[in-house]
Structure 1
Amino acid sequence: MSPAEAVGVDVGGTKIAAVRVTADGTVSARARRATPHGSADGLVAAIAALVARVRGKRAVAVGVGLPGMVDARTGALAFAPGLGFARAPLRDLIADAVGLPVVTDNDANAAAWAEYRLGAGRGYENLVLVTLGTGLGCGVVADGRLLHGAHGFAAEASHLIVEPRGPLCECGNRGCWGETASGAAIGRRGRREAAAHPASPLAGLLGEGGTDPGQAVTEAAVRGDRRARGILERVGTLTGVGLAALANVFDPAVMIVGGGPVTAGDLLLAPARASFADRLYAPGDRPPVPLLAARFAGDAGAIGAALLAIDRSR
């Protein structure tokens, strides 16, 4: 018998990625396109078109990771300001459009599920994952299940305050974790450093057309640029501060960090581990809590969404 397959869709602020995946995580097809903004109908049409391109003949379900708050009971998108429209019953709309059962969840939850099932969290029943991207996403697996909370809105850790006098967040507070320790935050810091030091290697990389600012900082740091390394050290430190707060609340067996900046390795993770250890409650009286890089890179959300669809269809 052929193994079950599902289509996983990861909806981001700038792009939508779709993959066809088997239960062991093998990706057999993939497609992507720019994310349309402004209406649920436009987003559903874009997702349906991508599903049609990759679904093949054996897909039994579709999983969709969404960048916002997803109602655990109905699968509706409750809040996602980056998409440009209000609450919408996306699970039902997508199911009608593709003709398959559909699972919807927060995109970071989907990424956490990928790491739990097949990635850096395999073998651990309790884990916390954070992804450093356009924003900061978080997913928690507790006793082998995704933590959703009363309504599906759990683990919105982006608005933990880690730098009380830090930059103003869209939520109205200052120093939110996602505003200070995301891929976008790395990019903002990089642009400021490049403007102040136009002859630096970092400024040269940022001056190349089409280069993502956060990616440019990471690349410059890997090449040895001291200002770029300073940015990653600061963001890594703040990442560890937030992770310690989550570890104190959830008592995970492992912490996992994903997203593009993780490609810098210990330039980011070493300061994260140091500040995590400094702030973890009673570190000498609990088993060690490793802080690991995620296994899955840009495919984590899509693969995790597909695995959720397969697991929930059984």
Structure 2
Amino acid sequence: MTPAPAEAVGIDVGGTKIAAVRVTADGTVAARARCATPRRTADELVAAVAALVARVRGGRVAAVGVGLPGMVDARTGALAFAPGLEFARAPLRELIADAVGLPVVTDNDANAAVWAEYRLGAGRGHDHLVLVTLGTGLGCGVVVGGRLLHGAHGFAAEASHLTVEPGGPLCECGRRGCWGAAAHGVAIARLGRQAAAARPASLLARLIGEGRSDAGEAVTEAAHGGDDGALEILDRVGTLTGVGLAALANLFDPAVLVVGGGPVSAGELLLAPARAEFARRLYAPGDRPPVPVLAARFANDAGAVGAALLAIDRSR
């Protein structure tokens, strides 16, 4: 049996940036780097990933894990579809392995994130959990019996396209009301810009106008400052998050639900309405053990750390 690597590099390919970390077996981040995400061709993406691996790679690194946005073939590690990238299906596991000269594991980015939370984060100690990430899009990863749920082809848990708001905002899939269009970081930013335009004298409008942070971060900052419009946005997105979480709990019966991504920095301003709506919609709540809704421990590092842990665990 091949010894497990003491360290691995984890890569989280996002819609706007690629994050890389070097991670030890206990989850410690020993080095990190990032760059913008090239979207036009697979070759450009592979070159960017290889450059990041070179920047964080240490002498004890023996594997690389890559979390990819969209649908990843569980058999081959190829990218089947990613809405944020301009190129079609590509054998990214093979291409990246050739570029870095190391064994490579690829998986969906939310699967990588839930693995980090399962192994060492908010879901540690539970063999059944669901994670939802609120970022550029909405991702979902599910662990059942201590194993990632991949489905027949690797495309399971595409919860982004659950309908939670009929007639709601247009999704990239061409339909309206999808969870991923109504409740994620970009939705918060969109609602923030609309609220700022409607209330030009508000704290939110001032923060966005000063360019001190992007619109999503400005919503959180303004909400902590008591801005009514920002508080309404977080309450709305939190409520829609709770709608989707209840559907997932009814489907998968997890021991714990974990919410990650940048918007979770709003804390209870987002999570409290999510928990309240979740409790209202959960089937037979009085006849089952409580299902806590927790903030992710690894926050924005979850995808990269989880990818590294997948590389370590699959090499055992």
Q: Distance in 2 between matches of 1:51 and 1:78?
A: 23
- Alignment equivalent of 2:102, drawn from 100, 103, 112: 100
1:23 Cα offset (Å) = 0.8
- The equivalent position to 2:251 in structure 1, one of 249, 252, 259, is 249
Show structure 1 runs of 5+ residues with no match. Answer: none
SS of residue in 2 equivalent to 1:190: helix
Letter in 1 for 2:8: A
1:235-314 map, 5 Å = 235-314=237-316
Match of 1:173 in 2: 175
| Deviation by residue 1:252-290 (Cα, 9 ceiling, x = unmatched) | 000010111111111101100010000000001100000
What residue in structure 1 maps to residue 65 of structure 2?
63
- What is the rounded CA distance, in whole Å, between the counterparts of 1:112 and 1:268 in structure 2? 20
- Give yes or no for the alignment of 1:9 onto 2:34: no
Normalised TM-score (structure 1): 0.98
Contact 2:21 2:31 (8 Å CA) reproduced: yes
One-letter identity of the residue aligned with 1:189: L
C-alpha distance in structure 2 between counterparts of 1:225 and 1:197, whole Å: 10
Equivalent residue, structure 2, for 1:112: 114
Shift of the 170–277 alpha-carbon distance from structure 1 to 2, 3 Å rule, reads: same
State the TM-score, normalized to the length of structure 2: 0.98
Is 1:194 the counterpart of 2:232? The answer is no
Any conservation in 1 of the 2:4–2:315 contact (CA below 8 Å)? Answer: no
Q: Secondary structure at the match of 1:105?
A: strand
**For residue 85 of structure 2, what is the aligned residue in structure 1?**
83
Q: Deviations over 1:173-211 (max 9, x none)?
A: 111001001011111111100000011000011112262
**Aligned-CA RMSD value:** 1.2
Task: Note the 1:26-45 alignment, pairs <5 A.
Answer: 26-45=28-47
Per-residue deviation, 1:2? 11
Tell me the percent identity. 82
2:160 aligns with one of 144, 158, 161: 158
Gaps of 5+ in 2: none
**Aligned-pair CA distance for 1:5:** 0.3
Structure 2 counterparts to residues 198-237 of structure 1, below 5 A: 198-209=200-211, 211-237=213-239
State how far apart, in whole Å, the 2-side matches of 1:261 and 1:41 are: 32
